Amino acid sequence: MNESEIKFLVDVGVGHLVEQYLSSNDYDIRSVRDLDPRMPDEEIIQIALTKNASLSQWIETRPKVPSG
């Protein structure tokens, strides 16, 4: 896949199943895991912006637990 054809940039936390699904459904993807699994978020965002790619990230939210 040519980098200029990237449509999805999949972050490390998303997982292999999402990558496999997108790839098997003929989406052009690039995995951060394959580029550099320790890539800083700022660099990931810059690649997505430069390549006009949708960025897929897993954002974990946890309920706030009262302290005390």
State the pLDDT confidence band at 3, using cuts at 50, 70 and 90: very low
3 neighbors 35 (Cβ within 8 angstroms): no
Query: Element (H or E) spanning 8, and its range?
Result: strand 8-10
Give the residue-averaged pLDDT of 3-32: 83
Classified as helix, coil or strand, 29 is: strand
- Say whether pTM exceeds 0.85: no
Show me where the domains of the chain are located: 3-56
State the pLDDT confidence band at 4, using cuts at 50, 70 and 90: very low
pLDDT tens by residue, 15-26: 888 889 889 988
Strands 29-31 and 8-10: parallel
